[in-house]
Amino acid sequence: MQAEDHVSCLKTDSLKTNGPCRVLVGVTGSVASLKLPILVSELLQLPKVDVKVVTTEHAKHFYNPEEVSVNIYSDNDEWEHWTQRSDPVLHIELRRWADLFVIAPLDANTLGKIANGICDNLLTCVVRAWDTSRPLLFCPAMNTAMWQHPVTAQQVSRLTEFGYVEIPCITKELVCGDKGKGGMAEVSTIVSVVQKYLQKADESSQNTHTSHPDIEPQST
Ligand SMILES: Cc1cc2nc3c(=O)[nH]c(=O)nc-3n(C[C@H](O)[C@H](O)[C@H](O)COP(=O)(O)O)c2cc1C
């Protein structure tokens, strides 16, 4: 699909009710982004799930987009497709579209940005505009020395204070050869946490009969 089409179709997609659960996967410049193709393919195995990806520029070094079967959005899409008032603003369309946002992996750089409210690319703008009543899950991934730096725990706590959910990193031999904490959670763990949160969201929408906060009919 052409980039222009997949940007404008988001606007229509976000008007769907009772459709599949919409999972937005965020991917940042950690070597764990190698796992993006398998993460997307396993999420697509969940019943009634639609997936889209938002990537940072550095994350692109780690995966082959041809191995990812869903739309991938990046900074160029944001800037190239807005020329006039009637054009969609991509980070807003993505936050409207998504029921759940999972950032896997979340590298040290983007962790620091999110903790401080910085929004200088498409992914961090989606986070900054995120509706905090919807789940935002994050999967830190970094070298053990980076993980152990005291600023990491402060920034992770800040994200949990915002209401975001940490899927903790694991201890393993990292790609750089160091052994220790900092590896991204296993894909199977991430998928099962996503599934749990989608079920919760589904149950609460059935209880309250509100299908999507952004598209509630306006009272007159
Ligand atoms: C080969 C390679 C692997 C990297 N792996 C990680 C990593 O696992 N975690 C991390 O926090 N940073 C890692 N980095 C550093 C980030 O890519 C760098 O901080 C970058 O600016 C992140 O940009 P982004 O957050 O916009 O994606 C790695 C860099 C390279 C060159």
pLDDT for the residue 219 = 30
Question: 40-44, 45-49, 203-207: which has the minimum mean pLDDT?
Answer: 203-207
Q: How confident is the model at residue 58 (pLDDT cuts 50, 70, 90)?
A: very high
What are the residue ranges spanned by the domains of the chain?
Answer: 19-205
pLDDT at 184 over 60: yes
Q: Whose CA is nearest to atom 14 of ligand 1?
A: 30
Closest CA to 52 of 87, 26, 76: 26
* Residues 36 and 184: beta-carbon distance below 8 Å: no
Q: What percent of the chain has pLDDT over 70?
A: 85
Q: What is the pLDDT of residues 104-156, one digit of tens each?
A: 999 999 999 999 999 999 999 999 999 999 999 999 999 999 999 999 999 99
**What is the rounded (10 degree) CA torsion for 116, 120, 126, 130?**
30
In a mutational test of the pocket of ligand 1, which residue from 28, 30, 176 has the highest number of ligand atoms less than 8 Å from its CB?
30
Closest CA to 212 of 131, 137, 136: 131
Say how far apart CA 1 and CA 71 lie, in whole Å: 8
pLDDT of 220 > 50? The answer is no
How far apart are the CA of 216 and the centre of ligand 1, in A? 40
| pLDDT at res. 12 | 53
- Find the catalytic residue in 9, 119, 169, 176: 176
Is the pTM higher than 0.85? yes
Active site residue 9: no
Residues in the ligand 1 pocket, defined by CB under 6 Å: 28-32, 56, 58-59, 107-110, 141-142, 146
Confirm if 42 and 56 have CB atoms less than 8 A apart: no
- CATH number given to 19-205: 3.40.50.1950
Distance 182 CA to ligand 1 centre (A): 13
What is the CA(141)–ligand 1 centre distance, in A? 9
Tell me, what amino acid is at 92?
A: I
Cα separation, 190 vs 38, whole angstroms: 11
